[in-house]
């Protein structure tokens, strides 16, 4: 139904709808499984959060409670693909440990895997179909994020706004939609793109609502496209589409369809090692390395200056002092204080006790952020960070970080992924750790599954 049959979005759709498992290079398949394990663990780590509990309650209220699709960490409830995607998509984004794709400034995994799992269980997809659909979802979510870029990210939570395209694409692939239907699904998804940053100001739960609804909206878009609902044909580049309306026309059109089948978005995504907002990671890594190398102790620090890019200032600047555990992960001062005091900024470093720690709060007040033009020019291609530490004995020390742990250039081993996953599962109070470990092991052999199994555990 596109009025522009040769658009980049059409190209991407044509490529995606024809993509098969056998087209995927081995590293793409391996990484797809890696991020699935990581996401499963993120979801279970988030399951006790009130936002997730609330959405779970909603799913039960709406029904059904006996569908084909599982809710991760809630083995007693089954539901529809829409609500499974909704709840799992919210849960996986709670603890801020899900992956990040640099250039698009979005978190694809928390959208793509919950959607793929829900729809696969609904239609009885195989492990290979699941993997292929996830790869497709990454391409739409990340390419659209790159297309919309910084001007969009300043106003919108890109994880949600382009995530919904990824969810629609993943679903469309699993439903084996024809290219015209696939394009409709993308159009319907894009016109629903939403997600504002206002929640950062008062530490409310919209971040999880955004990912949850992006998943559910993507499912809706592809299922309705399959039964004839027409979506607009050029939702990205059209005169009144996402680029013109949500991106202020400052876009990178070639990102939509360059190097299809040669450049894989999923290989460009990063694991999160620290449990804080990804914008704090370069500075945290720089500070930890500086303190170790220069033998600076927590008590020695007079002040810290974090040189960073504008998007970090924009997002982190909204979170105030960090009143809640979640909001504290968006305070550069608090994250650097935690990293300095504990040598890490992991899941168990951000607690109610930490919020009440006057020592942390004191150093937090002596951390400042400064815009660095060189670092800003490199963003979002590179997420760099530099910290400058003034010690109480008058030294001024500096450290720059180019690659943080978890980035494609310094990725996690399977052992590290497993150990991160186990820590997440413990954080989520998983009772049956053997069942959880077994689920992770089954993910490593996902391509052998004729039908996507249940991964849930108590």
Positions in the binding site for its own copies (CB under 8 A): 1-3, 50-51, 53-55, 57-58, 61-64, 67, 80-83, 155-156, 184, 187-188, 190-206, 209-210, 213, 217, 220, 223-224, 227-235, 238-242, 245-246, 318
Nearer to its own copies, 191 or 411 (CB): 191
Nearer to its own copies, 192 or 270 (CB): 192
Instruction: Quickly list DSSP for 131-183.
Output: HHHHHHHHHHHHHHHHHHHHHHHTTB-HHHHTHHHHHHHHHHHHTT--HHHHH
Nearer to its own copies, 83 or 113 (CB): 83
CB of 398 to its own copies, least distance (A): 32
Nearer to its own copies, 152 or 274 (CB): 152
What Cα–Cα distance (Å) separates residue 189 from each residue in 112, 156, 222? 14, 16, 8
CB of 85 to its own copies, least distance (A): 11
CB of 220 to its own copies, least distance (A): 6
Nearer to its own copies, 11 or 245 (CB): 245
Nearer to its own copies, 66 or 413 (CB): 66
Burial class for 161, CB neighbours closer than 10 Å (0-12, 13-18, 19+): buried
Instruction: Quickly list DSSP for 180-249.
Output: HHHHHHHHHHHTT---BSTHHHHT-SHHHHHHHHHHHHHHHHHHHHHTTPPPPTTTTTSTTSHHHHHSTT
List, in sequence order, the alpha helices (H) in 269-372: 281-294, 310-316, 325-328, 332-342, 352-355, 358-364
CB of 3 to its own copies, least distance (A): 5
CB of 318 to its own copies, least distance (A): 7
Give the DSSP H/E element, type plus range, for residue 127.
helix 127-153
User: How far apart are alpha carbons 39 and 349 in whole angstroms?
Assistant: 20
Nearer to its own copies, 249 or 356 (CB): 249
CB of 238 to its own copies, least distance (A): 5
Residues 6+ positions from 277 with CB-CB distance below 8 Å: 96, 315, 316, 329, 330, 335
CB of 150 to its own copies, least distance (A): 15
CB of 60 to its own copies, least distance (A): 10
What Cα–Cα distance (Å) separates residue 394 from each residue in 64, 204, 300, 391, 413? 65, 41, 10, 5, 40
Asked whether 363 and 341 are in contact (CB, 8 A), the reply is: yes
User: How far apart are alpha carbons 287 and 404 in whole angstroms?
Assistant: 12
CB of 74 to its own copies, least distance (A): 15
Residues 6+ positions from 160 with CB-CB distance below 8 Å: 193, 194, 195, 210, 211, 213, 214
Nearer to its own copies, 77 or 412 (CB): 77
CB of 228 to its own copies, least distance (A): 5
Asked whether 144 and 193 are in contact (CB, 8 A), the reply is: no
Nearer to its own copies, 73 or 233 (CB): 233
Nearer to its own copies, 4 or 297 (CB): 4
- 3-state class of 399 per DSSP? strand
């Amino acid at each position: 139904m596109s009025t522009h049959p040769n658009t980049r979005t059409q190209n991407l759709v044509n490529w995606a709808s024809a993509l098969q498992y056998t087209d995927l290079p081995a590293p793409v398949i391996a990484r797809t499984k890696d991020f699935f394990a990581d996401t499963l663990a993120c979801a279970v780590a988030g399951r006790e959060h009130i936002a997730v509990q609330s959405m779970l309650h909603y799913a039960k209220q709406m029904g059904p409670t006996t569908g084909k699709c599982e809710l991760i960490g809630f083995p007693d409830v089954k539901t529809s693909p829409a609500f499974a995607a909704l709840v799992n998509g919210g849960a996986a984004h709670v603890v801020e440990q899900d992956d990040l794709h640099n250039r698009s400034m979005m978190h694809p995994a928390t959208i793509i895997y919950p959607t793929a799992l829900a729809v696969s269980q609904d239609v009885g997809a195989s492990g290979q179909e699941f993997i292929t659909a996830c790869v497709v979802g990454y391409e739409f979510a990340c390419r659209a994020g790159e297309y919309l870029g910084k001007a969009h990210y300043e106003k919108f939570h890109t994880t949600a706004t382009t995530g919904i395209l990824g969810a629609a694409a993943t679903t469309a692939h699993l439903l084996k939609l024809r290219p015209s239907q696939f394009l409709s699904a993308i159009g319907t998804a894009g016109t629903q793109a939403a997600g504002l940053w206002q929640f950062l100001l008062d530490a409310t739960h919209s971040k999880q609502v955004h990912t949850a609804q992006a998943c559910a909206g993507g499912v809706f878009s592809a299922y309705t496209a399959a039964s004839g609902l027409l979506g607009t044909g050029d939702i990205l580049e059209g005169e009144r589409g996402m680029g013109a309306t949500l991106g202020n026309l400052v876009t990178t059109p070639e990102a939509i369809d360059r190097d299809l089948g040669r450049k894989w978005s999923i290989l460009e995504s990063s694991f999160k090692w620290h449990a804080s907002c990804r914008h704090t990671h370069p500075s945290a890594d720089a500070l930890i390395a500086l303190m170790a190398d220069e033998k600076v102790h927590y008590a020695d620090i007079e002040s810290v200056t974090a040189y960073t890019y504008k998007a970090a200032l924009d997002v982190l600047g909204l979170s105030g002092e960090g009143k809640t555990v979640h909001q504290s992960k968006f305070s550069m001062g608090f994250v650097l204080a935690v990293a300095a005091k504990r040598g890490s900024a992991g899941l168990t470093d951000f607690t109610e006790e930490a919020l009440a720690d006057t020592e942390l709060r004191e150093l937090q007040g002596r951390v400042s952020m400064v815009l660095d033009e060189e670092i800003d020019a490199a963003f979002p291609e590179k997420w760099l960070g530099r910290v400058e530490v003034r010690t109480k004995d008058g030294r001024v020390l500096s450290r720059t970080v180019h690659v943080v742990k978890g980035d494609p250039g310094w990725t996690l081993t399977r052992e590290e992924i497993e150990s991160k996953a186990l820590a997440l599962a413990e954080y989520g109070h998983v009772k049956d750790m053997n069942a959880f470990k077994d689920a992770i092991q089954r993910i490593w052999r996902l391509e052998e599954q004729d039908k996507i199994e249940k991964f849930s555990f108590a």
